[in-house]
Amino acid sequence: MVNPVPGYGIGTPYGRRGSLWSLGWHTGADFPAPMHTHIVSCTPGTVVSVSNDRAYGHYVTIQWEGYRLLYCHMPSGAAVVTPGQTVSAGQLIGSVGDTGNVTGPHLHLEMRKSPYGFNANDIVNPQPAIDYDPQEDDVLTPAQDAALKELLDRNRSQDRVLVEIRDRVNAVWRGTERLAQLAPGLTGVANAGPFWPDVKAAIEKVLGRPISS
């Protein structure tokens, strides 16, 4: 995946909690940029729809393998692709706008796995896959991110420490952050919790190698 707004970085990250969002947390990654800044497709794929919604404003949905990516808040008429069209990674698809539920111009990039619902099970973090380099073994793919998120969510209610772990995960993951770099930052709270061995084992399974604790 490539940066959808070349030259601009993430403002509000995926997973930030707050009353601004209907699920209680931010379901995508926001890229603040001036009005009409170019938006490109992160991936190759097929355009599913060009739509309008009160929350997302004008947006384009692109199917990529088992995922759908939503490029939201474009100006009316800014999309330069049509449903059924095949696109390549880096291809121009529209521009940054301020339609829908926004406080200023930006791209809201949202990523969902099948069956593509608006819920915590289907929405996944797009950030670790931006500028994904398959030569870097310890960069999380979207599937790996979803697997770890599922593990943490499943255990979160069992122990207060897991809540702290999840909060630290949300705070640390940015772009192509390595999970191996994340692990040492967790151990301060995690070693005090009874579920850390399971979490550590899951991280090692995702990476395919041991991590220091």
- 116 within domain boundaries: yes
Q: Which residues of 53-82 are buried (b: 16+ CB within 10 A; e: fewer)?
A: eeebbbbbbbebeebbbbbbbbbeebbbbe
The 10s digit of each residue's pLDDT in 170-200 is 444 433 334 444 444 444 444 434 555 666 6
The band of 29, judged by pLDDT with boundaries at 50, 70 and 90, is very high
Number of Cβ within 10 Å of residue 212's Cβ equals 8
In a domain, 37, yes or no: yes
Shared domain check, 150 and 73: no
Q: CB–CB of 107/30 below 8 Å?
A: yes
Residue 160 confidence class, pLDDT cut points 50, 70, 90: very low
Residue 12 lies in a domain: no
186 is a domain residue: yes
Mean pLDDT score of the chain, rounded to an integer? Answer: 76
| Assigned domain for 59 exists | yes
What is the rounded CA–CA span in Å between residue 50 and residue 67?
A: 16
- Note whether residue 134 is domain-resident: no
**Which helix (H) or strand (E) is 112 found in, with range?**
strand 106-113
Percent of the chain with pLDDT over 90: 43
122, 148: one domain? no
Per-residue confidence (pLDDT) for residue 73, from 0 to 100: 97
Question: For 47-89, what is each residue's pLDDT tens digit?
Answer: 999 999 999 999 999 999 889 999 999 999 999 999 999 999 9
Three-state DSSP class for 123? Answer: strand
Say whether pLDDT at 159 is over 50: no
Domain that holds residue 164: 142-207
- In angstroms, the CA 122 to CA 127 distance is 15
pLDDT in the model for residue 54: 93
70, 100, 126 - which closes a domain:
126
- The CATH number that applies at residue 73 is 2.70.70.10
Do residues 122 and 146 share a domain? no
Q: What's the pLDDT at 34?
A: 94
**Do 41 and 95 have their domain in common?**
yes
Q: How many domains are there within the chain?
A: 2
Give domain status of residue 9, yes or no: no
* H-helix segments, the chain: 142-156, 160-172, 179-190, 196-207
Structure confidence at residue 161 as a pLDDT band (50, 70, 90): very low
The reply to whether 48 falls in a domain is yes
Average pLDDT over residues 7-21: 85
63/37 Cα distance (integer angstroms):
23
Does 131 score more than 60 pLDDT?
no
**57 in Cβ contact with 73 (< 8 Å):** yes
- 53 and 83 in a common domain: yes
